Amino acid sequence: MATEAADRVTMDKIVALCKRRGFIFQSSEIYGGLASTYDYGHYGVLLKTNVKSQWWRSMIQERDDIVALDAAILMHPRVWEASGHLDGFTDPLVQCLGECKRRWREDHLREQQPEGELRCPECGGELTEPRQFNLMFKTHMGPVEEESAVVYLRPETAQGIFVNFKNVLQFSRKKPPFGIAQVGKSFRNEITPGNFIFRTREFEQMEMEFFVPPDQAGHWHEYWLDERMRWYTSLGLRTDHLRLRPHAADELSHYSSATSDIEYLFPIGWSELEGIANRGDFDLTQHARSSGEKLEYVDSATGGRYVPHVIEPAAGADRAMLAFMVDAYDEEQVEGRERVVLRLHPKLAPVKVAVLPLVSKDGQPEVAREIYEELRERMPAEYDAGGSIGKRYRRQDEIGTPWGVTVDHQTLEDRTVTLRDRDSLEQDRIPMDELGAELERRLAAPWRSPKLSA
């Protein structure tokens, strides 16, 4: 069960915290901002980098059947013809005929208004008939804006993987089941972006295509559902805020024979965090047909050949970061004052330890600086000597720093420091020389969200 404090989190509070502490800013803010596009500041970059590093770790470092790829964002336009995106990557668009003239996604409105004729949620006006709107951004390559120079910004990273299947197979010495993983920007001209970084037109995806013998596809689909759920919970997301939702037949994408979404209970309600699809042999077959290349696996021992089927866990780095922040956000009363704290898993926290001299005299800053220089060799650390100690702790709590080290007059006498825990607020006095090893021990220890009741 979530605590009462956990339920106090709202999207507005997350947006305000992100701005206040330099995680995320509105893009082009001094020009009035560009709708639904965001810039990541220092702590936002560090947090999102940690999310992506943990994803890479689980895909590459902890196993030996997946290899990495970084394909270009711009691809040959025929890729999108073969993949079905030119014809099929559309959302049903309706426009208000009443006063507000706003545009909506018909499928989203239908979820909110399951019965009867749809009406505009803004002004109650009548709506147009739905028309299919293609979500791909179009641009031109080279100096001439003519039809033959049209290219698209990729709407998913997956196609870069499929068109490199043959290259990877040749050089990686892998055979199915094996995977190709990629992290990178994707672009979708969403009809209704919104809810902060939940749905934007430019975002980062973390996708892995797992190629398997056709008769094993069902097994591997189940396997990756479990594996991806485990990833989120191992990084601290509360199990009671996560669920799996299989897609109904009429919801499936043009390429998919089965998809389940991992959903998270965001402040906007249960929403998709990641989709895990069984894509069958759709993509390799389409690209083989369209390019004339053979995209299949040939078993050198038996001479048997087949087109592998594909299981795809497709996650969003920004959306995952938002879920981790929402899950971590907490408020509590400490000694009569409100404390806002991000209870992030230590592995995700942008800064692991802050070193704070209690006063800016008596040689304390020098000793604190010395401790900091040593600690930052081991983990991301921050040194902060400015302002009252309470203010400095508030800042570290809000960026989710799990540990704080204070240097005081006693440190100068016996070389001990105070080590403060972000979640329990317990303070331990420990020798300076043991600090690095103690923090490494704590960082490696299992961690569970304190927002989950015992």
Query: Does 296 participate in binding ligand ATP (rule CB under 6 A)?
Result: no
Query: Does 315 participate in binding ligand ATP (rule CB under 6 A)?
Result: yes
The pair of structure tokens assigned to 387 is 């302002």
Helix (H, G, I), strand (E, B), or coil: what is residue 174?
coil
Enumerate residues 6+ apart whose C-beta is below 8 A from 31.
none
Query: Does 364 participate in binding ligand ATP (rule CB under 6 A)?
Result: no
> Phi and psi at residue 126, in whole multiples of 5°?
-70, 160
Closer residue to ligand ATP, CB minimum distance, 322 or 435: 322
Query: Does 314 participate in binding ligand ATP (rule CB under 6 A)?
Result: yes
Query: Does 347 participate in binding ligand ATP (rule CB under 6 A)?
Result: no
Is the dihedral angle over the CA atoms 273, 276, 281, 284 positive or is it negative? Answer: positive
Q: Out of 85, 154, 199, 279, name the contact with ligand ATP by CB under 6 A.
A: 199
Query: Does 190 participate in binding ligand ATP (rule CB under 6 A)?
Result: yes
Query: Does 319 participate in binding ligand ATP (rule CB under 6 A)?
Result: yes
Query: Does 134 participate in binding ligand ATP (rule CB under 6 A)?
Result: no
Query: Does 52 participate in binding ligand ATP (rule CB under 6 A)?
Result: no
HEC assignment per residue over 415-454? CEEEEEECCCCCEEEEEHHHHHHHHHHHHHCCCCCCCECC
Query: Does 316 participate in binding ligand ATP (rule CB under 6 A)?
Result: yes
Interface with ligand ATP by CB under 6 A: which range of 96-104, 280-288, 308-316, 368-376?
308-316
Query: Does 283 participate in binding ligand ATP (rule CB under 6 A)?
Result: no
Instruction: Report how far apart, in Å, the C-alpha atoms of 336 and of each of 4, 333, 339 are.
Output: 18, 6, 9
Strand 178-187 relative to strand 202-212, pairing = antiparallel
Closer residue to ligand ATP, CB minimum distance, 38 or 211: 38
Q: Out of 54, 58, 200, 449, name the contact with ligand ATP by CB under 6 A.
A: 200
Give the nearest distance from C-beta 317 to ligand ATP in angstroms: 8
Interface with ligand ATP by CB under 6 A: which range of 123-131, 200-208, 334-342, 433-441?
200-208
Give the nearest distance from C-beta 54 to ligand ATP in angstroms: 15
Q: Out of 318, 327, 330, 384, name the contact with ligand ATP by CB under 6 A.
A: 318
Cα 36 to chain centroid distance, Å, stands at: 17
Query: Does 419 participate in binding ligand ATP (rule CB under 6 A)?
Result: no
CA angle 367/44/236 to nearest 5° reads 90
Closer residue to ligand ATP, CB minimum distance, 188 or 343: 188
State the DSSP H helix or E strand holding residue 153, giving kind and residue range, or none if neither. Answer: strand 150-153
Give the nearest distance from C-beta 113 to ligand ATP in angstroms: 18
Q: 127: burial class by Cβ within 10 Å (0-12, 13-18, 19+)? A: buried
Query: Does 222 participate in binding ligand ATP (rule CB under 6 A)?
Result: no
Give the Cα separation of 148 and 247 in Å (integer): 38
What is the crossing angle of helices 317-328 and 11-20, to 10°? 100
Closer residue to ligand ATP, CB minimum distance, 175 or 201: 201
CA angle 47/49/53 to nearest 5° reads 120
Please report, as residue ranges, which positions from 325 to 344 form the binding site for ligand ATP (by CB under 6 A).
none
Query: Does 188 participate in binding ligand ATP (rule CB under 6 A)?
Result: yes
Query: Does 205 participate in binding ligand ATP (rule CB under 6 A)?
Result: yes
Give the nearest distance from C-beta 23 to ligand ATP in angstroms: 16
Give the Cα separation of 61 and 67 in Å (integer): 10
Enumerate residues 6+ apart whose C-beta is below 8 A from 61.
none
Q: Express the helix, strand and coil content of the chain in percent, nearest 5 each.
A: 35, 30, 35
Closer residue to ligand ATP, CB minimum distance, 155 or 400: 155
Please report, as residue ranges, which positions from 103 to 122 form the binding site for ligand ATP (by CB under 6 A).
none
Q: Which residues bind ligand ATP (CB under 6 A)?
A: 156, 188, 190, 199-200, 203, 205, 272-275, 314-316, 318-319
